[in-house]
């Protein structure tokens, strides 16, 4: 019986759902960490790395994301994915990777491509995710909140049919109950446990970690490159996004044209700029731009100016 003096720990919300339990001692496993961007996937991936799980060959040490595998997944290269899985199974037996919003590139049945998959999906308060997006991704909070709610629904729809061990976790509850969070992860993955390891993993659970915040802020890049066949050519991109950037052309500081950097260029694709659709070329003659006019291009709504702007049109190199 629960009394006012008893802890009633069984009624405390620790914030995790085991959708399908794992079978201990079943050999090699593939830990798949997914979820919304800014939802705690980096925390889960960092814990798995600390335990000694191989999480990728080309890792970003701040967000613990396997950039080599990400390229294969984004390209929907199924043969390449199968080759990578076979190689990692042979080299490591048990391994893993982090890929936010895996539901965007794989359907639930595709998870069976991986050996003994164990899927881990952290969730976070949608308002918190939306605010983080507005701070890091230059998004307005309310549209970001609507997008976050839609993404959560998509992730739940993805997790429901999975026919493999699946663990859903609350990031907020991890901050309140760090020891339980760590214990649940280790138990779900049938991973090694010790007091020393537990203490080291708990130390990783830190809200608003500065090293993480410093690197997740996305940046607009790009430049005016010169004149090609009478057109002003350049490129613009937002780190971590393949979406075309909205731009404004200013001539003598007066707005002349609103457009997107969405032209495909093979050199941009080869250089790793998203899908390669980050270029632009503008026929300034149709606007009657004088050779002495000063040209600037800025990111729409943000005022961030592309590099190599602020020059007279006649001073740009002819790259034809």
Phi, psi of 193 (to 5 degrees): -135, 135
Residue 10 has a pLDDT of 67
Task: Going from the first residue of the chain to its last (320 residues), give the mean pLDDT of each consecutive group of 10, the final group possibly shorter.
Answer: 47 89 78 93 93 86 80 90 95 95 94 96 93 75 91 94 95 94 93 90 78 59 92 88 87 94 90 84 92 94 89 91
Task: Identify the pLDDT of residue 178.
Answer: 94
Map out the domains of the chain with their CATH numbers: 9-216 (3.40.50.300), 220-315 (2.60.40)
* Contact present, 149 and 156 (Cβ < 8 Å): no
192 and 201 in contact (C-beta within 8 Å)?
no
At 38 the pLDDT is: 84
Q: What is the pLDDT of residue 3?
A: 39
Chain center to CA of 286: 40
What sign does the CA torsion over 75, 103, 261, 134 have? negative
What pLDDT is recorded for position 104?
Answer: 92
Going edge to edge, which strands form the sheet with 294-299? 254-261, 245-251, 294-299, 311-312
pTM: 0.69
């Amino acid at each position: 019986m629960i009394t006012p003096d008893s802890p009633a720990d069984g009624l405390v919300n620790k914030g995790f759902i085991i959708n399908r339990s794992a079978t201990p001692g079943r050999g090699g496993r593939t830990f798949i960490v997914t979820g919304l961007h800014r939802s705690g996937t980096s925390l889960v991936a960092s814990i798995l790395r600390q335990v000694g799980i191989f999480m990728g060959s080309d890792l970003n040490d701040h967000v613990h994301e396997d950039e080599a595998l990400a390229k294969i997944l984004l390209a929907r290269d199924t043969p390449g994915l199968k080759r990578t899985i076979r190689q990692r199974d042979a080299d490591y037996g048990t391994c893993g990777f982090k890929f936010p919003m895996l539901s965007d590139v794989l359907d639930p049945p595709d998870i069976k491509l991986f050996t003994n998959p164990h899927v881990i999906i952290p969730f976070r308060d949608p308002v918190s995710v939306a605010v983080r997006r507005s701070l890091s991704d230059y998004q307005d909070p309310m549209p970001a909140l609507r997008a976050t709610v839609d993404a959560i629904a998509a992730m739940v729809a993805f997790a429901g049919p999975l026919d493999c061990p699946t663990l859903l976790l609350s990031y907020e509850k991890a901050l309140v109950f760090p020891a339980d969070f760590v214990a649940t992860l280790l138990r779900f993955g049938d991973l090694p446990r010790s007091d020393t390891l537990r203490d080291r993993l708990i130390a990783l659970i830190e809200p608003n970690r500065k090293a993480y915040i410093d690197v997740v802020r996305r940046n607009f890049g790009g430049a005016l490159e010169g004149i090609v066949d009478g057109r002003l050519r350049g490129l613009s991109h937002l780190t971590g996004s393949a979406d075309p950037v909205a731009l404004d052309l200013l001539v003598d500081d007066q707005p002349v044209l609103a457009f997107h950097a969405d032209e495909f260029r093979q050199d941009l694709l080869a250089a790793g700029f998203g899908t390669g659709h980050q270029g632009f070329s503008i026929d300034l003659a149709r606007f009657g731009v004088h050779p002495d006019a000063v040209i600037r291009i800025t990111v729409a709504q943000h005022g961030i100016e592309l590099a190599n702007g602020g020059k007279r049109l006649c001073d740009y190199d002819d790259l034809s």
